[in-house]
Amino acid sequence: MNEWIQRWLNLSTLPRYILLMAAALSLLLICWIAILRPLKVAQSALLLSLEQQQHSLQRRQHQLAQNPSLETLQQQWVQASAQLRSASSVPALEALLAARGQQLEQWQPDAQPRALTLHLQWAQFQPLFAEMAKFSAPFPQHFQLAMQQTHLVAELWLEHEDAP
């Protein structure tokens, strides 16, 4: 080892600087291969991943922009709810009566209170009240049931002031 140091000290200045420069460049090359290159590869992988996430984000933002905003949906819901509440009970009641057309014997919509007479089986009587409760139709507060040989005669009086 002492021999190398002696040779180094005996060299002139220019060869010494050239050897120092070669050693520094060798050290830099080793650092680049061992440390910086893997970091550069990792960085490029992260950049690629970031680009893919940005593309995905842009696609989702585009899809979100195609849908109406929350405020618009809430306004539409309020309008639809108001229209349902403001709907007259007559169309709902008429739809109910149209569905039970063969069972309807008499319907007096102009009388006060409105009267309705139906021919039903007992099993059909309870679902009738359930359907009337679903609609905004006036619910019968008074009714009369009469048993016939093959069916049940139900007379219902619908009073507007009793309607919900």
* pTM attached to this predicted model: 0.39
User: In sequence order, what are the residues at sequence separation of 6 or more whose Cβ sits closer than 8 angstroms to the Cβ of residue 114?
Assistant: 108, 138, 157, 158, 159
Q: Are strands 104-108 and 142-147 parallel, antiparallel or unpaired?
A: unpaired
Domain boundaries, the chain: 2-66, 88-162
Task: Return the pLDDT at 164.
Answer: 34
DSSP run (H or E) holding 98: helix 89-99
Task: Return the pLDDT at 160.
Answer: 57
**Half-sphere exposure (Cβ direction) of 88: Cα atoms closer than 13 Å:** 4
* 102 and 123 Cβ atoms separated by less than 8 Å: no
Task: Return the pLDDT at 138.
Answer: 64
DSSP 3-state of 104: strand
What are the 10-residue block averages of pLDDT along the chain, 164 residues in total? 83 89 93 86 94 96 88 89 63 70 72 77 78 69 81 78 42
Task: Return the pLDDT at 18.
Answer: 92
User: In sequence order, what are the residues at sequence separation of 6 or more whose Cβ sits closer than 8 angstroms to the Cβ of residue 141?
Assistant: 157, 159, 162
Q: How far is CA 70 from CA 20, 74, 81, in A?
A: 70, 6, 16
User: What distance, in Å, lies between the first and last C-alpha atoms of the chain?
Assistant: 108
Task: Return the pLDDT at 163.
Answer: 38
